[in-house]
Structure 1
Amino acid sequence: MESIQRVMNAYSIYPANITQITDRLFRIQDGQGDYALKRSLMTHETAVSFENTYHLASSRNLDAVLPVYLTHNRKLHVEMDGHIYYLTPWVQTDEHRGRKDHIKGIYRHLGDIHARTKRKKDLAQEDAWKRFDTYRDYCQSTHRELTSFIGQFEKKRYMSPVELLVCTHFKELEAACHIGSKRTEQLVDSAKKDGTWSWSLCHGNLRMSHTLQTAADPFFINWENSRFDNAVSDLTGLYSRETLYHNHPGSWFIELFGSYMQRNRLSETELHLLVIHMLDPSHYMKLVKQYTGKADKGRMMDYIPPLQRYYRRVLFGLEFSQHIEQEFETISFQEDD
Structure 2
Amino acid sequence: MSNINYLQQMEPVLKNYGVKPHFIERFGKIFRIYSDKGIFALKKISPKHGTDFIRHIQYLYQKGYNRIVPVYPTVDGRYAVLHNQELYYLMPWLPNEEKENRNERNQQLFRELARLHTLSLHEVTIDPKEKEEHYSTISSLWEKETEFIEGYVEACEGKQYMSPTELLFCLYYNNIRLALAYSKNKLKEWFEQTKEETKARAVVVHGKISSEHFLYDDRGYGYFTNLEDSREGAAIHDILPFLSRLLNTFPKHCDDCIDWLYVYLKYFPLKDDEILLLLSYFAHPGPVLRVVEEYYKSKERNERKFVQRLQKQFWLLKNSEYVVTRIEEIERQKKQAAAAAAAQSNEGAQS
The TM-score normalised by the length of structure 2 is 0.85
The CA deviation string for residues 154-176 of structure 1, in whole angstroms up to 9 with x for no partner, is 33344322112212322321221
Query: When you count helix as a share of all residues, which structure comes out higher?
Result: 2
User: Residue 20 in 1 paired to residue 26 in 2?
Assistant: yes
What does residue range 1-337 of structure 1 map to in structure 2 within 5 Å? 1=6, 2-22=8-28, 24-30=29-35, 32-43=37-48, 46-192=49-195, 195-213=198-216, 216-246=220-250, 250-294=254-298, 296-329=299-332
Take 1:194 and 1:60, find their aligned partners in 2: how far apart are those partners?
27
Seen in structure 2, the aligned counterparts of structure 1 residues 247 and 280 have a Cα distance that, compared at 3 Å, is closer
Take 1:203 and 1:158, find their aligned partners in 2: how far apart are those partners?
48
Take 2:250 and 2:40, find their aligned partners in 1: how far apart are those partners?
34
Structure 2: 5+ residue stretches without partners: 1-5, 337-351
Name the % identity: 20
Return structure 1 stretches of 4+ with deviation > 6 angstroms: none
Take 1:196 and 1:319, find their aligned partners in 2: how far apart are those partners?
32
Q: Does the 8 A contact of 1:190 with 1:268 survive in 2?
A: no
Alpha-carbon deviation of 1:195? 4.2
Q: Does the 8 A contact of 1:278 with 1:316 survive in 2?
A: no
Seen in structure 2, the aligned counterparts of structure 1 residues 241 and 117 have a Cα distance that, compared at 3 Å, is same
The CA deviation string for residues 13-61 of structure 1, in whole angstroms up to 9 with x for no partner, is 1122211122x21101125521111011232xx3221121221222222
Read off the aligned partner of 1:33 and give its amino acid letter.
G
> Alignment partner of 1:129: what SS?
helix
Structure 1: 5+ residue stretches without partners: 333-337
Q: Does the 8 A contact of 2:244 with 2:320 survive in 1?
A: no
Which moves more between the two structures, 27-36 or 296-305?
A: 296-305
Read off the aligned partner of 2:21 and give its amino acid letter.
P
Which moves more between the two structures, 225-234 or 131-140?
A: 131-140
Point out the structure with max Rg over C-alpha: 2
Read off the aligned partner of 1:119 and give its amino acid letter.
H
Take 1:320 and 1:3, find their aligned partners in 2: how far apart are those partners?
48
Q: Does the 8 A contact of 1:169 with 1:311 survive in 2?
A: yes
CA RMSD of aligned residues (A): 2.5
Take 1:204 and 1:320, find their aligned partners in 2: how far apart are those partners?
22
Report the counterpart of residue 335 of structure 1 in structure 2.
none
> Alignment partner of 1:16: what SS?
strand
Q: Does the 8 A contact of 2:60 with 2:66 survive in 1?
A: yes
Read off the aligned partner of 1:276 and give its amino acid letter.
S
Take 1:331 and 1:47, find their aligned partners in 2: how far apart are those partners?
44
Query: How many aligned positions are there?
Result: 328
Q: Does the 8 A contact of 1:13 with 1:30 survive in 2?
A: yes
The CA deviation string for residues 194-253 of structure 1, in whole angstroms up to 9 with x for no partner, is 542111111123333322256634221111111111111111232344432338995422
Take 1:28 and 1:186, find their aligned partners in 2: how far apart are those partners?
53
Read off the aligned partner of 1:222 and give its amino acid letter.
N
Read off the aligned partner of 1:37 and give its amino acid letter.
L
Which moves more between the two structures, 223-232 or 311-320?
A: 311-320
Take 1:311 and 1:272, find their aligned partners in 2: how far apart are those partners?
23
The TM-score normalised by the length of structure 1 is 0.88
> Alignment partner of 1:84: what SS?
strand
